[in-house]
Structure 1
Amino acid sequence: MNRQEALDILWRIAAAYTQFDLQGEIGKKRVEVWTECLEKMPYDRVLQNVNKHISESKFPPTIAEISAYDPPKNEFLTQYDEWLQQGRERIEHERNR
């Protein structure tokens, strides 16, 4: 997500929980820390987690409670497909000799 989307998440939390203050020295640091973490996550999934948390908890969430990360890519399957293709091409090349 981008910075504006991260701020939208923070404003949503602050609107739902009055104790989640974004003002003053602590609030400024909170915005800095949270946006740094949130920018590494997909907006739609975090928003979904925030909305769920708001509907289920009377306390503001931690970053860990609303975090969402894309699963790591499985490079093995891509490499495996490439090996299969290379093997087919070698076999075909040998047949045509």
Structure 2
Amino acid sequence: MKREEAIDVLEHIAALYPKVEMSRKKAKVLLPALMEMEYAGVMTKLRKFTTKYPYPPTIAEIAAYPKMPNEHLENIKKWQEEANKVSEQTKQQFRMQLEKLIIQKVNHENYKL
């Protein structure tokens, strides 16, 4: 979120909970943490929080971080697309070579015993 939005969150907290002292020092500490979050999500959580609890929320209780892309899932999708481009003949040859390698490995391990 932007700095102005983070300030707005703190102003909402101060308005909803008048007993909360919102000093410059406190705001200076909280702003960087809020700026890493998503404004709409934080405001939604703040709204829900105020309907349940009479005390002010901690930043952790109203935290809402932007969704990050799942790199592993993206890699798997990319690999599946690449695998779909490989011909069946090439896949069959690979399977045969893999089977031979497995048999060799098993026979080699049995020989050691």
Do they superpose with TM above 0.5? yes
Deviation readout 1:47-88 (Å, 9 max, x if unpaired)? 011111222222111111111123443212211121122222
Alignment of 1:52-91 (within 5 A): 52-91=48-87
With the length of structure 1 as denominator, give the TM-score of the two structures.
Answer: 0.80
Backbone CA RMSD of aligned residues: 1.9
Whose radius of gyration is greater, 1 or 2?
2
TM-score normalised over the length of structure 2: 0.70
1:41 paired residue number = 37
- Pairing 1:10–2:10 present: yes
Q: Distance in 2 between matches of 1:80 and 1:15?
A: 48
Structure 2's unaligned 5+ residue stretches are 91-113
Specify every segment of 5 or more residues in structure 1 that has no aligned partner in the other structure, as ranges: none
What is the CA–CA distance in structure 2 between the aligned matches of 1:16 and 1:5, rounded to whole Å? 16
Please give the alpha-carbon distance, in whole angstroms, between the structure 2 residues aligned to 1:10 and 1:83.
Answer: 45
SS at structure 2 position matched to 1:70: coil
Match of 1:58, SS state, is coil
**Alpha-carbon separation, structure 2, partners of 1:41 and 1:79:** 26
- State the shift of 1:11 in Å: 0.4
Structure of higher RCO (CA pairs closer than 8 Å, 6+ residues apart): 1
Counterparts of 1:15 and 1:56, CA distance in 2: 17
In structure 2, what residue type is equivalent to 1:76? H
Q: Distance in 2 between matches of 1:33 and 1:41?
A: 14
User: What is the number of residues matched between the two proteins?
Assistant: 90
SS of equivalent residue, structure 2 residue 87: helix
Distance 1:10 1:79 in 2: 39
Query: Is the helix fraction higher in 1 or 2?
Result: 2
